[in-house]
């Protein structure tokens, strides 16, 4: 979680300096969901991400250097610097990609889960999406199909309370998102998305069901997006007190306090880890800046089979 937070804080400063092309959607506050779920996945399992997906990519094992290079538009990135932040992928580590379409990763994960079921090796596919995807028609279609076919898929809703600039209660009827899964008789549960251990425990149950051939699971992780929909969003729709209250539940702070209280790690050790990841991120930026930009020939590569 420290790595994801440091990575994105650096991206924020680079974006403000005009060094990151396109828009930038950050997940600060939501790190526990990515880490909790991906910590239960194996190398052969796959994920499908969304537009706020740096955390998912890194939690699934993506190289910090190659991820940074891709976001900064360098040839050493996963997509030769052409994918940017909204289409990051990492086939080696089972990442089907971030996605600029709301809910766009949901059918991809279902397809991957169908492939996994046909292979019969106990693999699962996990899909991350926000509460803004809860009303997408494809979600209902895919959940129905996943339930009927008992696909080894895990659908994870990162409910941060806002779809872009609009509160969930203003656009979503039936304010219990868990019901999106239960209506299809899919095992579904609400999870504290600010507690990485709670997320991990829920993910472990879902993964076990998938591997055992018991079908899909639906997790609703209640979390919070500290920043705006994208960097530069004025966040005029948010209340300052609301933001303050959620930051008191910060997932990194919560885990750090628990590790200290249980004698697992000292404050000094935790601070040292933070310094290590800060150095790793800075090194990734330096490495990316030393790399070449895509060439004109690169633009046409992989367009045709």
Q: What is the CATH number of the domain that holds 9?
A: 3.40.50.970
Output the pLDDT for position 5: 97
75 occurs within a structural domain: yes
The structural domain count of the chain equals 1
The beta-strand segments (E) located in 132-244 are 153-159, 162-163, 166-167, 188-192, 217-222
Range of the domain at 271: 2-13+21-290
Q: Is the pLDDT of residue 129 over 80?
A: yes
* pLDDT tier for residue 305 given thresholds of 50, 70 and 90: low
Q: Which residues, in sequence order, are bridge partners of residue 48?
A: 127
Q: What is the mean pLDDT of the chain?
A: 94
Tokens of 230: 């994208």
119 belongs to a structural domain: yes
Residue 229 has pLDDT above 80, yes or no: yes
Domain membership of residue 304 (yes or no) is no
Q: Is residue 227 part of a domain?
A: yes
Residue 301 lies in a domain: no
The whole-number average pLDDT for the span 61-88 is 93
Q: Please indicate, yes or no, if residue 259 is contained in any of the structural domains.
A: yes
Task: Kindly give the pairing relationship between strand 217-222 and strand 46-48.
Answer: unpaired
Q: Is residue 161 part of a domain?
A: yes
pLDDT at 199: 99
The two three-digit tokens of residue 158, written as one number: 């990162």
Least confidently predicted of 24-28, 37-41, 54-58, 293-297: 293-297
Let me know if residue 221 belongs to a domain: yes
pLDDT number for residue 291: 93
- pLDDT value, residue 186: 98
Whole-prediction pTM: 0.93
Q: Would you say residue 222 has pLDDT above 90?
A: yes
């Amino acid at each position: 979680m420290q790595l994801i937070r440091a990575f994105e804080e650096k991206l924020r400063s680079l974006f403000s300096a005009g060094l990151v092309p396109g828009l930038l959607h950050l997940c600060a506050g939501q790190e526990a969901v990515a880490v909790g779920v991906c910590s239960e996945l194996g190398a052969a399992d796959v994920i499908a991400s969304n537009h706020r997906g740096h955390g998912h990519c890194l939690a699934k094992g993506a190289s910090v250097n190659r991820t940074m290079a891709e976001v900064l538009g360098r040839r050493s990135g996963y997509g030769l610097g052409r994918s940017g932040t909204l289409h990051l992928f990492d086939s080696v580590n089972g990442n089907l990609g971030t996605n600029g379409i709301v809910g766009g990763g949901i059918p991809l994960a279902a397809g991957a889960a169908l492939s996994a079921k046909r292979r019969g090796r106990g693999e699962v596919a996990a899909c991350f999406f926000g509460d803004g995807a809860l009303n997408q028609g494809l979600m209902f279609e895919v959940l129905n199909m996943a339930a009927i076919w008992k696909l080894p898929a895990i659908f994870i809703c990162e409910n941060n309370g806002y779809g872009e600039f609009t509160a969930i209660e203003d656009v979503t009827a039936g304010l219990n998102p868990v019901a999106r899964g239960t209506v299809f008789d899919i095992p579904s549960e609400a999870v504290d998305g600010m507690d990485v251990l709670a997320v991990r425990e829920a993910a472990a149950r879902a993964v076990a069901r998938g591997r055992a051939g018991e079908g899909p699971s639906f997790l609703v992780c209640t979390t919070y997006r500290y920043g705006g929909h994208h960097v530069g969003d004025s966040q005029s729709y948010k209340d300052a007190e609301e933001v303050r209250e959620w930051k008191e539940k910060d997932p990194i702070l919560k885990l750090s306090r628990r590790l200290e209280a249980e004698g697992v790690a000292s404050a000094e050790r935790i601070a040292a880890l933070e310094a290590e990841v800060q150095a790793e991120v800075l090194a990734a930026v330096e490495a990316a800046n030393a790399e070449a930009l895509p060439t004109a020939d690169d633009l046409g590569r992989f367009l045709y089979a």
